[in-house]
Amino acid sequence: MAAPDLAPASGSTSELARTIDHTFLKPEGRRADVERTVAEAAELGVYSVCVSPSELPLTLPEGSDLKVTAVCGFPSGKHASSVKAAEAALAVAQGADEIDMVIDFGAAIDGRIAAVEADIRAVRAAVPAPTVLKVIIESAALDDDTVTAVCGAAEAAGADFVKTSTGFHPAGGATVHAVEVMRRAVGDRVAIKASGGIRNREDAEAMLRAGASRLGLSSSRTVLEGGTGAAGY
């Protein structure tokens, strides 16, 4: 398993940028939107650019150290495990450094945690380290006990990160409370990514203080510049 990325929050804008997966996942996204997102990610100095798997391979700016993140089983999580595994493996073959997979959170609500763990294990087996595997639990759709149980399943299955949200669920996105519950569940053994609905710097820094070490943001520029971003993905 890759070493968890647990660097604490720090005050500088460039250090905040290095916690960000700059994200563009709009279903109606066009190639020019993705190219703009990649260029903006490089300009802002963020950690990675996060896109849909059909956008891979990406052309990165010359000399850039930008990482590539692809989502998997996104956004519903209701894909067969073998399909998620194949999707993740293809994304890595096409240049993804990190995979953000969505669990079957309906199964989690049912209490079928062993099935959730098996689903994560299937993807982990398809994309072993050094690929970083993040597990999106859609925390706003789950109660705290279920969030805790799913975090345990993700840890047991070898995930590098647990991640709050897709940003697509009507129940909402990341909250400080969810990050705190996740931190209690995984300690410092698994890293935490907060994503979905983070629109300003104050909220971004609150997530980091609560225990996240990575942020998923479509409003990266506005957040880094201290403004308030619009809803988006």
Ligand X SMILES: O=C[C@H](O)COP(=O)(O)O
Contact stretch for ligand X (CB under 6 A) within 60-68, 103-111, 150-158, 216-224: 216-224
- Please report whether residue 216 would count as binding ligand X according to CB under 6 A: yes
- Please report whether residue 167 would count as binding ligand X according to CB under 6 A: yes
In the complex, the smallest distance separating the C-beta of residue 114 from ligand X, rounded to whole angstroms, is 26
Active-site annotation holds for 65: no
- Please report whether residue 25 would count as binding ligand X according to CB under 6 A: yes
DSSP3 helix / strand / coil % (the chain, rounded to 5): 40, 15, 40
Which has the closest alpha carbon to 18: 159, 198, 173, 208? Answer: 208
Active-site annotation holds for 100: yes
151's tokens: 């975090």
Query: Is the Cβ of residue 167 or residue 211 nearer to ligand X in the bound state?
Result: 167
- Out of 173, 185, 186, 213, point to the residue binding ligand X (CB under 6 A): 173
Give the Cα separation of 38 and 225 in Å (integer). Answer: 18
- Out of 19, 23, 131, 139, point to the residue binding ligand X (CB under 6 A): 23
Q: Encode 147-180: b = buried (16+ Cβ within 10 Å), e = exposed.
A: bbbbbbbbbebbbbbbbbbbbebeebbbbeebbb
- The strand pair at 132-136 and 67-72 is best described as unpaired
Active-site annotation holds for 26: no
212's tokens: 């996240």
Number of residues that bind ligand X (CB under 6 A): 15
Question: Active-site residues: which are they?
Answer: 100, 163, 193
**Which residues are at the interface with ligand X (CB under 6 A)?**
23, 25, 166-167, 173, 195-198, 216-219, 232-233
